[in-house]
Amino acid sequence: MQQVDKGLMLPLMEAFYTIQGEGFHKGTAAYFIRVGGCDVGCHWCDVKESWNADLHPPTPVDKIITDAAAASDTIVVTGGEPLMWDMDPLTAGLKSRGMKIHIETSGAYPLTGTWDWICLSPKKNKAPVGDIHQRAHELKVIVYNRHDLKFAEEHAAQAGPDCLLYLQPEWSVRDKVTPLIVDYVMQHPKWRVSLQTHKYLNIP
């Protein structure tokens, strides 16, 4: 659909107001816009229902923006992989309302849109493209096994000097990998620990 290709409509999976659970902004209120569509294919993804964009109705960005403006002044765009779509119309509309806009992305597609905060969470299946490492405010690497620590360092080496570095246990193996992460951060204090606190709080 041409409107979707232009970013004037987006396959909206869900939108909700909640407390951010991960990374630098954890514990703060925000309105989440979850855009459907993702071909990165992480086996441990906890929103696999977001992968098939065809399952989520194309929604006019004007409606998405209006609903967001009524809920919060901080917006988090996530997915799926939101950069599969042109984010320029959505972020322009949100910015015109004076909102702060964050994105959570694997970086697997070129960066579009205007963002106040970019959380880059790279995945092994599909590498980040362009200069997103240098533009990211936060690098968040999901740790499923010990090798992911090496993967994290490879991406940290590409990040800008002010980028915050986070290691986050993959939820299904959190009891196993959390002690590994804690030890690693204590030995390499440039890193911080990120936890999925929203799951402990039992909120979206």
More confident residue, 46 or 49: 49
Identify the pLDDT of residue 1: 72
Average pLDDT over residues 40-54: 91
Neighbours of 98 (CB within 10 A): 8
Amino acid at 182: V
Both tokens of residue 90? Answer: 């959505």
- Global pTM value: 0.96
Number of domains in the chain: 1
Mean pLDDT score, 179-199 = 97
> In the chain, where do the E strands start and end?
9-19, 29-35, 58-60, 74-78, 100-105, 117-120, 138-143, 164-169, 191-193
Q: Is the pLDDT of residue 61 over 90?
A: yes
| Structural domain of 134 | 2-201
pLDDT digits (tens, 9 = 90+) for 123-160: 999 999 999 999 999 999 999 999 999 999 999 999 99
Which pLDDT tens digit goes with each residue over 85-119?
A: 999 999 999 999 999 999 999 999 999 999 999 99
What CATH number does the domain containing 45 carry?
3.20.20.70
Q: What is the mean pLDDT of the chain?
A: 96
3-state secondary structure of 110: coil
DSSP state of 126: B
